[in-house]
Structure formats: C-alpha cells, structure tokens
Amino acid sequence: MHKVLCVKEEIMSETKELKYNEPWILQRADPYVYRHTDGMYYFTASLPEYNGIALRRASTLAGLADAEETMIWKKHDKGIMSVHIWAPELHYLDGKWYIYFAGGDIDDIWAIRPYVLECADADPITGTWVEKGKMQRSDDDEFSFEDFSLDATVFEHRGEHYYVWAEKVGVGKKISNLYIAKMQSPYKLKTAQVLLTTPDYDWERVGFWVNEGPFLLKHDGKLFLTFSASETGIDYCVGMLTADEDADLLDPASWKKSRYPVLRSDASKKIYGPGHNCFVKSEDGSKDLMIYHARTETEIIGDPLYNPNRHAMIMEVKWAEDGTPVFSYE
C-alpha cells in the first residue's frame, strides 16, 4: 500500500502545472538544472546552511519541486571545503559526472576556492563521489584561483570545453571579475585566464563591485553569457555578454556587454534581486527557460548573504526579431 501511495504521489508531482516567475523551489539560491541525455532533469543549488551538496531528479521541471532531495556530499569539519559551500553545477563530461562548486576554510571563511567532485557511476544520486580537489589552472597561469574564486560554469562549443568563473582582484577594495579559459580535462585548464568583464557600470557596483554567476545560452548563431551583478540583496541583477558563434571566445573583443541590466527587480511583481541563473530546455524542447533565484520581500535583516529567502523561479525566454533573448516577467 505504501508503495502504491508513493507512486501516486510521484505521478501527481510530475503532472503539476509549471508556473513562471513565482517561487518554484523555496530557499534554494544559485539554482542549477541539468537535463541529461535520457530526458531526466537534475536540480541542485546552494543550501541555506551552505553545508553540502544535494541533488534531486524528476522527469519534468514541475516534478522537481517536490522530488526527493539527497545529500550526495557534505562539507569537511575543518580545512578546505569546510564552510560556505556555494553554487554547485552538475555536468556530464567524458562519460562521468562532475560537480563544480566553491567552498571556504572554517579558519579562513572567505578563502573561497573552486573545487571538483567526480562520479564514475551511472546514477549521480546513488553513486560514489570522489573529491578531485581544487580546480587546477594551466601550467602557464600564475594567477587563477589565488584569491576569492567562485561560481564556475562549464560549456562546450565546437568540440572545446570552456570554464568561466568569478574571481576577486585588487588590494583594498576587491573587485569580482569574470574570467574564461579552455579546459584540458574536467579538473584542469588548458589555457591561462582571460578577463571577460569587470564591473563597469553603476548597476554592477551596488554594495560590492561584482560580476559573478555566469551561464551560457546559444541561439541562432549567437552566444549569450549572462552574469549577475552587485550585492545579493534587492539590487542584485543580471547583465549579458554577446559573441558570434564563429568568434574567438578567448578574445575579450569578441564579447559585447549590455549597457543596462537585462533583468532586475520589479516591485509590481514582488520579485527582488533576480540573478545567478542557468538555462534549460522545456520538456518538448520548444522553449528556452531561465532558472533563477529571487526574493519576494524587500526587508532583509542583517547580511543578505545569510538570509535564506532566495527562491528558485522559472522564466520563459522570449526572442526578439534580431535574435537576442528577452527576459520579461510578463
């Protein structure tokens, strides 16, 4: 009887209606969804406690909301990877599963660095995860991952894998920039870092000077790299870089930056501080969907980083006549 009830609950969850631009999965910042080759969707995000990495799986996006969540890795008690476990992304590369995430040291909580987990089993939820350590820079790179580094994403383009991440630089006032490099393996870079973008405009400099949370969307011969800007409160917003698919992606001149945010808070919708998004296709493959986090309140007590009320939401991406994405709450 219990098994029958579980199956019935799973079917009900899988057939739930998907609603856009309202809380979908509560208290999950930096949401990330991956659709595997078998059509299954996987979800992970920063947990409110920042204490580990959890995965959930469903055959539909709506089903992810109530899907069982499994903690597949927990933070260390001390040393590296012992605090501030942030922004995991699940990728399937060269026949294995990888999770890219950032973490700090309990004795130096802002010593945030990028790390990699590997799973050689078919099922990433029940399989064994092995720590591959800190992401390795290329042999000719003296600078990457020496300072506060986080929000790594991986994408493939024309047979090459690229790694894009945020890293702070500077003395005194730290500035978070985005960098890109080609990958030699799932846990080592092949080329030295190239600066993609730095906080140039006022909307990228509220509270902190920040560019972070990159993710790539391809469409109609163009590459669109979205990123998040400013501190994590209601001023958090989304910017975008655009490149041609034939361009040299390691040439900063190939990328054009949006002058204004492509997505920001909207008081009329009670959506505040949208950002740290990813993209995924709808079940039938006809729609591009943005998965992002946002708040539904403006009053934040204390540091917004430790306020858990950033919720995962979904937006349908529309396309303008010139082939650029339109991000709208309507």
Q: Are 312 and 22 in contact (CB under 8 A)?
A: no
Q: Is residue 191 within 8 Å of residue 208, measured between CB atoms?
A: no
Which residues have CB under 8 Å from 93's CB, separation 6+? 154, 161, 186
Q: How many CB atoms lie within 10 A of CB 164?
A: 22
Strand partners, 32: 44
Residues 264 and 249: beta-carbon distance below 8 Å: no
Dihedral angle sign, alpha carbons of residues 301, 303, 307, 313: positive
For 166, phi then psi, to 5°, come to -105, 140
Residue 47, SS3 per DSSP: coil
Active site residue ranges: 30, 212
**Structure-token match 């012992």, residue found:** 82
Contacts of 167 (CB under 8 A, 6+ apart): 144, 145, 147, 148, 149, 150, 176, 177, 179, 193
Q: Which residues contact 238 (CB under 8 A, 6 or more apart)?
A: 226, 227, 228, 229, 261, 262, 263, 264, 274, 275, 277, 292, 327
Give the span between the Cα atoms of 163 and 150, in whole angstroms: 12
Exposure on the CB side of residue 48, measured as CA atoms within 13 A: 9
